[in-house]
């Protein structure tokens, strides 16, 4: 995905189109909001320390009819673990991983062999 503010919108459109005939509308909304948060976090926090190259996060989506679940993941270049924090009541940001936790059936992250990480969320459908 391009490192642009529109990337979250592009990701949401991709999810809606891909899951349109497979998943109920409410659950699609949960997945699209979660993906939007993951993409936004990757763009905001995902650059490796000292990296000069342009950040290029990638979005992955896996869907299994047999198990009625989907996993979405977003890669970035940073090795730092994502941490959910308590945002102040009037803060304009800082709740992304709380949203991910509330809307998904589970989330986590894994380091990538070539550096960086993938942050993922699981959805039972």
Q: Record the pTM.
A: 0.89
Average pLDDT, integer, range 56-84: 91
pLDDT at residue 101 greater than cutoff 90:
yes
Residue with tokens 């959910």: 84
Token pair, residue 73, equals 């993941």
Taking each helix axis from N to C end, the angle separating 96-103 and 25-45, rounded to the nearest 10 degrees, works out to 150
Token digits of residue 51: 């990296």
Give the pLDDT score at 67: 87
- Percent of the chain at pLDDT exceeding 90: 62
Nearest to residue 43, comparing CAs of 67, 35, 70, 83?
35
Site of tokens 């490796």:
48
């Amino acid at each position: 995905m391009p490192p642009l503010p529109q990337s979250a919108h592009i990701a949401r459109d991709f999810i809606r189109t891909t899951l349109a005939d497979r998943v109920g509308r409410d659950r699609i909304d949960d997945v699209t909001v979660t993906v939007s948060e993951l993409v936004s976090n990757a763009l905001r926090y995902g650059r490796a320390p000292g990296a000069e190259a342009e950040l290029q996060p990638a979005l992955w989506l896996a869907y299994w009819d047999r198990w009625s679940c989907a996993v979405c993941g977003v890669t970035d270049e940073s090795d730092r673990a994502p941490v959910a924090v308590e945002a102040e009541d009037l803060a304009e940001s800082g709740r992304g991983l709380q949203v991910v936790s509330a809307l998904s059936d589970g989330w986590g992250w894994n380091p990538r062999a070539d550096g960086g990480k993938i942050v993922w969320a699981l959805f039972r459908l």
